[in-house]
Amino acid sequence: MPAASYEMKASYILQETGRSIGRNRTAFILATSVQAVCLTLLTIFLVVTLNIGAVARSAGRNIELHAFVAPDADVQSLQGRIGRISGVASTRFVSKEQALAELRTELGEDAGIVEALGTNPLPPSIRVSLLPGHASPPALADMEKKVGLLPGVTEVWSGRESLSRLDRVLKTAIGLGIAVLVIVSLSVVFIVFQTVDSSIITRSREIEIMELVGATRAMVRVPFMLEGTLQGLLGGTVAFLLALVLYRVAGLVLPAPVFPLGSVLAFDLVLGSLLGLLGSVIALNRIRS
């Protein structure tokens, strides 16, 4: 087929898409706005889940096991034995004085509380850094058990409970995100279906005439498919912009929240377009040709 013929068909399809949108301009704008709100909600859940995941990974990388030791313990021997346990990356001894100095640094302006204690209540300890992959709650529980059995170790702490809670929060966020994804997807598909179906009903007589004069299946259907895809694309774009604004606001309160611009933009645009296309394809079942 000559190139000019392809250009004419493309031009015709684009004109028909514009006419269809123009005839139902109000419905198109309202539907796109509702889609944008739905996709914004999904994007917020996505970004929140990414941030919880980032916090969980950071906590896993930075976690240290604290083995508190008796004042008369053989620290060098203990460090050697702990260092030979599978999963241990390194060990370092922290004296009572060093522990107190670290506590003062962490408290900052509230360091005066330490002075009110009078004496140093902190015991000496061996800080144990772990190899990657050994900071999960089950691995930490096993490590605590092994270190706690060593002579001279009075108590072991790793923050395993906090890590377990964070892991549960992450799993809950992922579960909610999947549920929101399903609900939003169904909502967007239904909204697009309603809008495109309305356009098809409005132009039903015109479509019949086009079929009678020999219009191809593509020339009849593609404009409606483009309408639904464009609706989803615009909804995704607005959703991304709204989420970006919320991220900027959150950045004023939260320390460096995670927001991968490229990935979030691609997610919103691709998902919006695909859902819009799906909704229009379902609506096109009204056309028998």
Residues 169 and 275 in one domain: yes
Tokens for 62, please give them: 């930075």
> How many structural domains comprise the chain?
2
Residues 175 and 255 in one domain: yes
The pLDDT of residue 266 is 93
Residues 170 and 263 in one domain: yes
pLDDT of 238 over the 90 cut: yes
Residues 208 and 279 in one domain: yes
Residues 39 and 182 in one domain: yes
- When mean pLDDT is compared across 2-11, 203-212, 238-247, the lowest value belongs to 2-11
CA atoms within 13 A on the CB side of 237: 7
Residues 50 and 188 in one domain: yes
Residues 154 and 138 in one domain: yes
Structural domain that includes position 122: 64-158
Residues 213 and 143 in one domain: no
Q: Which of 107, 142, 158 is the last residue of a domain?
A: 158
Tokens for 230, please give them: 């464009």
Q: CA-to-CA distance for 205 and 211, rounded, in angstroms?
A: 10
Q: Which of 158, 181, 211 is the last residue of a domain?
A: 158
Q: Which of 108, 126, 158 is the last residue of a domain?
A: 158
Mean pLDDT, rounded, for 177-182: 88
pLDDT of 5 over the 70 cut: no
Residues 222 and 240 in one domain: yes
The pLDDT of residue 268 is 92
pLDDT of 189 over the 60 cut: yes
- 13-21 long-range contacts (CB < 8 A, ≥24 apart) are 13/218, 13/219, 13/222, 13/223, 13/226, 14/226, 16/219, 16/223, 17/223, 17/226, 17/227, 17/230, 20/199, 20/203, 20/223, 20/224, 20/227, 21/227, 21/230
82-120 pLDDT, tens digit each: 888 888 888 889 888 887 777 677 666 665 666 666 676
Residues 195 and 117 in one domain: no
Q: Which amino acid is it at 168? A: R
pTM: 0.70
The pLDDT of residue 240 is 93
Tokens for 229, please give them: 């895809």
Q: Which CATH number is 102's domain given? A: 3.30.70.3040
Residues 224 and 262 in one domain: yes
pLDDT of 9 over the 50 cut: yes
Mean pLDDT, rounded, for 220-245: 88
34-48 pLDDT, tens digit each: 889 989 999 988 888
The pLDDT of residue 118 is 62
Residues 90 and 202 in one domain: no
